[in-house]
Structure 1
Amino acid sequence: MSRKNARRQPAISPGSPCPCGLDSPYRDCCGAIHDGRRQAATAELLMRSRYSAFAVRDAAYLLRSWHPSTRPSRLDFDPEQRWTRLDILGTTGGSAFHTEGTVEFRAHFSVRGHADVQHEDSRFVRDEGRWVYLGPVPSPVAVSGC
């Protein structure tokens, strides 16, 4: 096997465990959301499906699940990056009865063998009845005294 082939993202088959960490095969979990067989019922499930889309490099799904006001025109994946684990740290709102929600998470990954983590508190809203990613929760602005 060439070095180039050895660095490819590990294949995730329909029967593989879902990258999002829930106890279901990919095809029945995030795969069903990616291919449109069902929608994410909560902001947390949308977050999990987006993490899995990064793991399987599904740019089309990531763009579809991004709010039009903040969506980039395209996504490029680093071929050396491997997504290894998702930790959901907390949620607010985001249920079937809400129109907004947040999900705080840590997404673990490695690049060229070096482990790292992305930590974000993400904002989600409903757009035409379905959950979409809006962006990170803005950091509070520090006000300095006189």
Structure 2
Amino acid sequence: MKDICHYEARWNPRVERSKVEDDHIESGQEQTQQYSNYRPDACIFDQEIDIEDTYVASVAYDQGALLSYSIQFSAPYEGYRLAINGTKGRIETNEFHVPSRIPFQFPEQTISYYPMFGSKETIEVVKQPGGHGGGDPLLLADLFIGKRSLDSL
């Protein structure tokens, strides 16, 4: 499908390949297509795609906290940019998923803390094995073994 996508042909320097290499297909995610209609080999501007590329939500919580969320489905990378403002300052981080599919250089993930008063602090993010940045093994251990076992991981 991407072989005939004009957007792909214009912007992807590797467009001459005939087979689309995608770890979602090889990992068995193609089985979920019947539920989500997600096709990683489809052109993002195909006329058959009838969903929006960008969604935005603004949420006001009961205690006064505000949330602004946006998602962009046709961005050139997968990942997130997070910023939280609070009474003691702000934290920020960027995380890029699947580095092999990102067409540009990017730094290792860090967390920046900007206290209300004082200098910026940079916190290094330790990479952990397992899905979702190492979160899956911790959640599974907590769920099935109990919190006390987390010290042994």
TM-score in same-fold range (> 0.5): no
Structure whose residues are more often strand by fraction: 1
TM range (shorter): under 0.3
- Higher RCO, 1 vs 2 (CA within 8 Å, ≥6 residues apart): 1
